[in-house]
Structure 1
Amino acid sequence: MNVDAPGDMRQVALGRGELDLPAIIAAAEPYVEYFTYEWDWAPSFETSAESYQYLRCFRSDDGGGEEDEDSLALGRPVTASSIDEAGHEPEKAVDGNAGTRWSSAWSEPEWIAVDLGASYDLSRVVVDWETAYGSGYEVQTSPDGETWTTVRTVTDGDGGFDDLEITGTGRHVRLYLTERATQWGFSLYELEVYGAPAGQLDLDVEVQARCLAGQAYVAVRATNGEDQPVDVTLATPYGTREVADVAPGANAYQSFAVRSTSVENGSVTVTGTATVDGGDVTSTVEVDHDAVACA
């Protein structure tokens, strides 16, 4: 099992039963990640619900592991163009579990997109491919999930791990998959995204679910901490309010009627837009609120 160059990866089934894993891992260090999962298909054989032990070896750019950093995509809302069957939903690509996967229909183009919840200056995307990998695809970013900008194009993908440096800013990241390497669709174990918070407006957001006269309301207040006016949008499942030119130190406020005696756990989205140093800056903040029962 050769792992000679940065980005190289090999995966082998070690079998079942008692194995001298410490000796195996010691021999392959420092490029080893060990895990166990349910393997449901492989190129040369097919099994059914049998647990195999796998050793995944890869070489990073520095010859060793980087300090752990959580992917911005981990557990975030994700959508995709299609799935091939139940159990391969797009959520499986951002669950942090190398034993689950998203798989598309057997066609092209396909896509998978993740909402990071806020705008980030993006630096890196990691794709952990299953056997059905993409040989051609684009990494795209978007501020709103509708208008996309391509920040990296891959034309010679060879599967395994794709660790891609990118430069771009956005709240949404999408893999736009244009060329299959196999007869199947596109399938990946994990999609990871890394970066730092983009230039953010100073908005202090408070959200509270509360009761008034036996009815549930969700109250949202966004206070402008900038030195210039900010246009603010308060968005909830129960309505949206836009407030233009909120003055420094002032706030945009709305109590949204749920039209029910209770409200479940949820979240609201607050977006602010202002001109800072001659350029337009837009910040988006998501804030959760608790459930409340008024009767």
Structure 2
Amino acid sequence: MSESPAPATDEALTTATRLFIDHRELLFAIVYNMLGGVADTEDVLQDTWLSWSGSRDRSPDQEIDNPRAYLVRIAVNHALKRRAVISRRRETYVGPWLPEPLVAGSAETEVASADTADRVLRGESVSMAMLVVLESLSPLERAVFVLNEVFGYAHTEIAEVIDRSPAAVRQLAHRARRHVHARRPLYEAHPRVRREATERFVEAALGGDIGALMEILAPDVTMWTDGGGKRRPAGLRPIHGRDKAIRLIASYASRDGVPALDIRYRRVNGDDAAVLFAGDSPYAVMVMDLTPEGDRVCGLYIVSNPEKLTHVHLGEKDEMNEKGEKEGTA
């Protein structure tokens, strides 16, 4: 009986690993924008790797003409399957759900922010506000919007990724674009303006300065507080209107037992934002969305669910953050 041939998969697996690593940043950015969660994205990338390496192991001599397209197709379809799991989880989620923030300086952001993904993470299309809007799309509409609007894939390319006709993809793209543009005006505040507005809001909120909050918050501001039922107080649904938002903020600022907080101003999903720490542990991420004039906050997103902050780290102090350090109650 002849010996079985020596496995020819080692070299193929090494090549597969290199190709996967080469495209990991792109895959992370695509999947994260489809799902809105770092942990879910990492799970999808693991499934993508298993599918990718498994196909290479079964056919070590088979050459794939376009590894990038092949990997994107695997990742997108795994992400579409993951949406069903996420939808079931949302049914029992306490309070508003917000995307898991990508904070500059955390390990996952460093992975996801190189080259192509870095441009995407800095763009408004993947801001916290945009991701909230994308939650209202169907999974297929969101996949098409992300691939087309964010990454510039043509309708014919997307059709091959999601196994639909180009005509069907065009319809999905039209519906998604119309819905998003109706809810998300196409403008982008200057980074300096956004940073100043963020600092003004944080100072007023932590100090309980109602007068300053009246000036910085737009009358029709909407406030999302995602504590996942693990942080109090937090609204059980988005709060609309300046007066209601100020009441909630003031009640929080006046509470006893709130730890001293260290404020770091960092880039969160490409925008300037405030990250609050209690000691070395992340306490909350606060992201502001500004009016077209840039002078007031029209959307306020506060993520304090500890499970969504596990990838956020204190890091080293820097000159920009020294003036942002503040101890007090929030």
| TM surpasses 0.5 | no
Give the TM-score, by structure 1 length.
0.30
Give the number of the structure with larger relative contact order, counting CA–CA contacts within 8 Å between residues 6 or more apart.
2
